[in-house]
Amino acid sequence: MLQNYELIIKEHHLDTFGHVNNAIYLQLFEEARWQLITDRGYGMKEVMSLRQGPVVLEIQIKFMKELKLRETIQINFETLGQKGKIGQFKQQMLNSKNDVACEATFTVGFFDLDSRKLIEPSEAWKQAVGIV
């Protein structure tokens, strides 16, 4: 695991049932991923400067427990592997009792913004996500 990103569930994260809305889980996972790669030297500044960065190709998500208002949660990140232009990451959202509330596996490509196609990931990107 490369990351333990912590945050508090706020009112705008909730749906009418009083727990985190399903779409918000993806936003929170993305927030945690951007923080991770920014902290490890490959944030938005580098993506725009180098014109290369990650794109999500597929997501498999499983909801297991509710997350409720003002609950402190942690989001973990794990690199599962890289084959050519495609990599996989797993993120888990842990509730305040340290139970897995949600788990998602992301299939990600490394994208060139100028040619508009997938390319082999750079060494800087591999370092940012813990591949090397």
Q: What is the pLDDT of residues 53-95, one digit of tens each?
A: 999 999 999 999 999 999 999 999 999 999 999 999 999 999 9
Domain edges within the chain: 3-128
Q: What is the pTM of this model?
A: 0.94
What letter would DSSP give residue 120? P
Alpha carbons within 13 A on the beta-carbon side of 131:
20
Given this model, what pLDDT does residue 15 score? 96
Residue 16's Cβ-count burial label (10 Å; 0-12, 13-18, 19+) is exposed
Rg (CA), the chain: 15
Report yes or no: 1 and 78 within 8 Å, Cβ to Cβ: yes
Identify the CATH number of the domain defined by range 3-128.
3.10.129.10
pLDDT for 108 beyond 70: yes
| Distance (Å) of CA 129 to CA 9, 120, 121 | 25, 14, 11
**Confidence class of residue 132 from pLDDT cuts 50, 70 and 90?**
confident
pLDDT digits (tens, 9 = 90+) for 25-56: 999 999 999 999 999 999 999 999 999 999 99
Tokens coding 17: 């049932």
